[in-house]
Structure formats: C-alpha cells, structure tokens
Amino acid sequence: MTLFSFTLTYTEIVIILCVALLTGMAKTGVHGAGMLSVPLLANVFGGQLSSGLMLPMLVLADVFGVWYYHRHASWHHLKILFPWAAVGIVVGTITGTYINDQIFKLMMAITILVSVIIMLWLERLGQPDKIPKHKSFAIATGIAGGFTSMVGNLAGSVMSIYLLSVRLPKNAFIGTTAWFFLVVNWFKVPFHVFAWHTISWNTVWFDLALLPLIMLGAWLGIIIVKALTETMYRWFIIVMTIIAAIGMVI
C-alpha cells in the first residue's frame, strides 16, 4: 500500500499506528513509551529517515504535554539545559551527516542501554545527597540531550536520568520534560529540513493523518500517570526504559 509516497505493508502500517499511540502517551508522562516507539519506527524506515518522520509526530504530541502539565515545569533546570541542548543538536546534525543507518541504530541501542544502567545505579544509591547536583551535570545532560534527540529522538532516556537524579516530583518531572521537548523539537525542525532533508510535505501530511491516534495516546497517558504513586512512577519509567532497550537490541 502506498501512503503519501511511502510504500508500506499492512504489518508496517500497524506498527506505525502503534508508534503514534505510544508517542502521544510519552508526551503526557509515559516516557518509556516514546523510547519504545523509536526502535519500532526505525525498523520500518531505517534510522535517519525514521528520525525525521517521527519529529512532526513529536511536535504535535508536545502540544498536549505542555497544555496539560505546563504549570509544573522547573524553569530553574530548563534555563541551564536549553542553551547546551542547542549545542548538542548542532553537533548531532554534523555527526548524523556522516554516519549510515546501521550506525544510527547502534547509537540508539547504546543510548538506551547506558540510560538503563545509569538509572538503576541512581536508584541503588537512593540518597539525594549522593546524587550529582553540580551545574556541570546539567550542562552535560543538555549537550547529551540535544545530541541524542537529534540523532535518534532518544533524549527521553537522557532527561529521565537527569530528572530522576534531581528527585523532581512526578508532575514537575512531566512538566519540565514537556517544555524541554517542545522547545528542542521545534529547534530541530530546520536542521531536518535543510541539512538532512528528512522532513518534506509528504512526511508532514503523513504525520497529520496520525493525529487522532496521537491524541488518544496523550489521553491514555494522563490516565496512567494519575493512577501511579510517586514511587510507582519512578519504577514505571525505569521498567519502560528497560523494555525499550530490549526492543532495540533484539
């Protein structure tokens, strides 16, 4: 079947519909769902093209996350993260120009696996006074977040590590993440359009057709997050990240 110039099998269409649903869920608090959607879409379109195809989906879904959780953002952390994320995006754009699809997928897998290891390590430490809180940690997170967001839309794992480590409450965690990705994803659009040429009118119309499923996912995400306590939510994020890592490797 051909949709907006993309030739797809029925199985691939089902996978894409699942990706749209997971993307919506990710933007209203179910962050591991977003990391699950990355390997799924990469298996259909390849690494770099899937990165560009997913970006308009993310931009659409970001609106719902910010609309619902905008009051809970920690602007103290965001002010530090934003400029360094921009640096990471520029570096990611340059790097992505010279690597092939196989390396893209490998970088995605490594990012998720390293994220899982670090998050489990932070949980084992447990004590807030042992968690890195120096400004350099935030700067490194910003650069890594921008870079991984550009090369594979995988900054969710990086942000989870940082925001779990500084022990933000559940709603502040979601609100801060929502604002971070709203700004970062819009900033990435010109690089995908003019440097990588992975976003075209066909990809935009394709993603707009998925908007109803993105909205449904956002609604489901709100329901799931409301049902979880603070502790349950922390472990929910970790478990979802582990599942995403397994999905990328196998």
Q: For the chain, which residues make up each domain, given as ranges?
A: 2-249
What is the C-alpha to C-alpha distance for residues 43 and 125, in angstroms, rounded to an integer?
36
CB 1 within 8 Å of CB 7: yes
How far apart, in Å, are the Cα atoms of 50 and each of 17, 19, 80, 115? Answer: 14, 11, 29, 21
**Backbone phi, psi, residue 61, to 5°:** -70, -30
Element holding 2 (H helix, E strand): strand 2-3
Q: What is the pLDDT along the chain (250 residues), one digit of tens a residue?
A: 887 888 899 999 999 999 999 999 988 888 767 777 887 888 888 777 888 899 999 999 999 889 988 788 899 899 999 999 999 999 999 988 887 767 776 776 777 677 777 767 766 655 544 555 678 888 988 998 999 899 878 788 788 778 877 878 888 888 999 999 999 999 999 999 999 999 999 999 999 999 999 999 999 999 988 888 877 877 877 777 677 666 666 6
Query: What is the pTM assigned to this prediction?
Result: 0.83
Torsion of CA 40, 44, 49, 51, to 10 degrees: -10
